[in-house]
Every structure is written in structure tokens, then in C-alpha cells.
Amino acid sequence: GESVGLHLPTLSVQEGDNSIINCAYSNSASDYFIWYKQESGKGPQFIIDIRSNMDKRQGQRVTVLLNKTVKHLSLQIAATQPGDSAVYFCAETGTGTASKLTFGTGTRLQVTL
């Protein structure tokens, strides 16, 4: 079946450095790709999404890049802070009312001081 997956299960980054979290997807028919952040003991929290007809979108300290040629999605976090420590999930979805979020396996980001 189609799936969304991540290359690295754990990423360790020093405070102040930039982080790059990667995701590979297989469903080329997806309309949106989304990043969620899940802190320990909490539910996932929406970060940013990107439509399939775009290749870059920026938010506050975050940038999402979409490369449809190689079916690759990445989340860049600038000046990583301790509060960024969490598990990050990529997800994909369509646009119909019965569309669902299909989540990837998650990458744990550890920010070291």
C-alpha cells in the first residue's frame, strides 16, 4: 500500500543550529503534505502544510520543501531551540471530504545544549 515514511528515526542537533527533518512519500496523487510536532505526553500539533503544486513554503522559523521528482519532503527549523525537541511527523492527504491524514513513522528531534 501507499505510505509516508521518514529516513531518520532520531536527529540530534545543537541549540542554535538548523535542523532538517526528511520524509519520503509514495502517493504521488496526494494534494497536501503536512508537518506535525508531538511533544512528550501531548497530542500532535500542526506546524505547516504545503500544496502539491508548490515546492517551498515558509513559516515562522520553519520552511517546508517539496521535491515531487523524487517524492521527498523536508522540514527545516532555523536556530533550533530546546522547545523544538519533539517527534515530528509528516503526513499527506487529498482534498475530498473523505480524505484522511496518513501519517509517517516520525522522527525524534533532540536538541542538545
Partner 1 sequence: DTAVSQTPKYLVTQMGNDKSIKCEQNLGHDTMYWYKQDSKKFLKIMFSYNNKELIINETVPNRFSPKSPDKAHLNLHINSLELGDSAVYFCASSQSPVSNEQFFGPGTRLTVL
Which of 68/103 has CB closer to partner 1? Answer: 103
* Residues 70-89 contacting partner 1, CB under 8 A: 87, 89
Which of 14/51 has CB closer to partner 1? Answer: 51
| 96 lines the binding site for partner 1 (CB under 8 A) | yes
d(CA 5, CA 106): 8
- Tell me, residue by residue from 3 to 32, as one string, x for binding to partner 1 by CB under 8 A and - for no binding: -----------------------------x
Beta strands of 1-113 (E only): which ranges?
4-5, 10-14, 19-25, 32-38, 45-51, 56-58, 62-67, 72-77, 86-93, 102-103, 107-112
Q: By the 8 A CB rule, do 19 and 86 touch? A: no
Footprint on this chain of partner 1 (rule: CB under 8 A): 32, 34, 38, 41-46, 49, 87, 89, 93, 95-103, 105-106
